[in-house]
Amino acid sequence: MAILEACLLAKRFGPVTAVEEVSLTVAEGEIAGLLGPNGAGKSTTLHMLLGLVTPDSGSVRLFGLDLDRHRTEVLSQVNFSAGYLGLPGVLQVREVLDAFARLYGLRHPARRVAEVVGLLDIGSLLKRKVIDLSSGQQTRVHLAKALLNEPRLLVLDEPTAALDPDTGDRVRRLLVDLARESGRAMLITSHNMREVERMCDRIHFMSAGRIVASGTAAELAADFEVADLEEVFLKVARQ
């Protein structure tokens, strides 16, 4: 079943065409990657899929429902994490997670907070204020928040950019396990090609607002007649 179906999305900001005719689908249990050079239109695409930016044209369906017409229903089954999203700095980590758990209307908020704290291994951070955390620690708190509502679609804008190699590896394993075991769909952007090769079932390359190539890492490498995704990226970026 298609969890996400985007059809011919387009967005301009004044004279800048950020996104043009972007169509993509993400299936249940699939981890999809959205790659491309800086300014290619990845974040703008994610924001349209999340209803944060209104497209100039095109449509988004989530779980078979039109995002515009069923906004509350579909967005309650989605979550989003990105390094550029702030959390309330004066609150302790526990207070932040408790607040989001209440906001999401979870049936067993305390139990779910304990679960995500365990998954992201952030028990030692619970009494710390968000503002005092390192960027990697904040990333883990953000990911914990994004898992609270057990989203059927998890959208992650550069999820491991601030993480050290060990923590990044743990988080990647956690996300892959979540997709495999519970059928959660994910759409991630990343500039880490090894990460994308390891995690993503299907990859969409964007350039100048358009999707210019899609496939598995192996299919893309074969199509572009190169050895790996890093070289595909360089070819796309330099075309």
CB of 178 to ligand ATP, least distance (A): 24
38 belongs to the binding site for ligand ATP (CB under 6 A): yes
**Scanning residues 7 to 36, which ones bind ligand ATP (CB under 6 A)?**
13, 16, 18, 36
Could you tell me which of 161, 164, 159 has the C-alpha nearest to residue 176?
159
Q: Which residues, other chains included, contact 203 with Cβ-Cβ below 8 Å and sequence gap of 6+? A: 32, 33, 34, 35, 196, 214, 215, 216, 217, 220, 229
CB of 38 to ligand ATP, least distance (A): 3
Six token digits for residue 55: 């497209």
> Count H helices, E strands: the chain?
9, 10
Task: Find the binder of ligand ATP among 26, 30, 42, 229 (CB under 6 A).
Answer: 42
Q: How far apart are the first and last CA of the chain?
A: 35
CB of 206 to ligand ATP, least distance (A): 6
151 belongs to the binding site for ligand ATP (CB under 6 A): no
CB of 168 to ligand ATP, least distance (A): 18
Number of residues that bind ligand ATP (CB under 6 A): 11
Contact indicator for 193, 170 with CB cutoff of 8 Å: no
Interacting residues toward ligand ATP by CB under 6 A: 13, 16, 18, 36, 38-44
